[in-house]
Amino acid sequence: MERTSRDSGAIYRDLPEQIRRLDARGPRYRFDIEADVRWDLLGTGGAHVVPSMVNGAAIDSVTLRSNPEAASLFDWAYGLAVCRVFVALEEVILDFERRARATLAATKSLTMLCEDEVKHMDLFRRYACHLERRHPGRMDAFEQAGRGLASVGAGLHPPDSPAGHYVFWVNTLLFEELTVYYHDRLGRPPENALVQPAWRSVHAAHRIEEIQHIVTDEHYLEALDLGATERDELSQMTALLVVKHFNTTLFPFAVPLALVEEIYPALPPLRSPVPTTKTPLFREVIAGPCLKRTRRNAPAVDRLRAYSSPASSPDLSPSPGGTT
């Protein structure tokens, strides 16, 4: 007989104890989408991505800036692509919760996380609408360039299995740690002075709640009824996701690049042939503190650190015994 459902006790171990202290948190960490975001500064100039991030992705920012109109288009398209990706990924989280509700152990922390995600979608949709209104004549070209925007699905396992829940929570943890990185990266002096102030406040507000979500994600991961070897093997899916979608989902540079190449074909090539895994931005993200919880819970992602140097290639296979 085909199994159609599974009780949460077969998926999680001791989740109530794992989550008990988290559920004692009140709502004081939450931001107010009207009061805490500088919507009044939407018309102020500024960048949505800083030059060092562009260079770190092996994109020639000097050549790009040699054509101010192309540079402005690139920055606009990058900001809009980030908004679109964030909304799509938040929807993945909410969709999984809806589909897996029968097998997800209900907690106050999970309920608050989902409520926060609805607000985050409103946050980035609102900023996206602002960007769309700025260049309505460019939207058809943007949609064409962005047709390959990748979204992270639920994985290959059904949501009512421990494996399916593991893939979901690790991917969610990865995404939410990266949203914190976005804010921290745009806030680094001296380039923080270049960033559009309303955009910076959007990421600052988003970060406040994502820090709380990261803790919830990890507690659910720790409580899953999976051994170390299984976790190691499943973590290869997340490591492959990072490599494959680094420039299309995690940092969607592919969209502004395609748009600029189409509209400004005379501009010299902007993207170097350096593989994604060898770029400075990839190395910084994979090896830096921003993904420390993801690396702890996904051994294959942790192993990417050793293979991001120019002289090496990724080996995502499980370590003997399932640990690194």
Which range has highest mean pLDDT (127-131, 144-148, 222-226)? Answer: 127-131
Percent of the chain scoring above 90 in pLDDT: 76
User: Is residue 81 a part of any domain in this protein?
Assistant: yes
Among 292, 290, 286, which residue's Cα sits nearest to residue 312? 286
User: Is residue 316 a part of any domain in this protein?
Assistant: no
Mean of pLDDT values over 100-115: 89
More confident residue, 141 or 8: 141
261-277 pLDDT tens trace: 999 999 999 999 999 99
Q: How confident is the model at residue 309 (pLDDT cuts 50, 70, 90)?
A: low
Transcribe 230-262 into DSSP letters. Answer: HHHHHHHHHHHHHHHHIIIIIS-THHHHHHHHH
Domain that holds residue 174: 50-307
The yes-or-no verdict on residue 82 having pLDDT over 80 is yes
More confident residue, 212 or 320: 212
Distances (CA, A) of 19 to 22, 26, 100, 113, 117: 5, 14, 18, 13, 19
**DSSP helix/strand/coil, 105:** coil
Distance (Å, whole) CA 280 – CA 132: 31
Lowest mean pLDDT among 44-58, 75-89, 306-320: 306-320
Do 84 and 146 touch, CB atoms closer than 8 A?
yes
Q: What is the pLDDT of residue 159?
A: 75
User: Is residue 41 a part of any domain in this protein?
Assistant: no
The yes-or-no verdict on residue 22 having pLDDT over 90 is no
| Number of domains forming the structure of the chain | 1
Mean of pLDDT values over 116-130: 98
Distance (Å, whole) CA 278 – CA 246: 12
Q: What is the CATH number of the domain that holds 161?
A: 1.10.620
Do 90 and 172 touch, CB atoms closer than 8 A?
no
User: Is residue 176 a part of any domain in this protein?
Assistant: yes
Mean of pLDDT values over 214-242: 95
User: Is residue 204 a part of any domain in this protein?
Assistant: yes
User: Is residue 296 a part of any domain in this protein?
Assistant: yes
197-223 and 162-186 helices, crossing angle to 10°: 150
Q: What is the pLDDT of residue 312?
A: 54
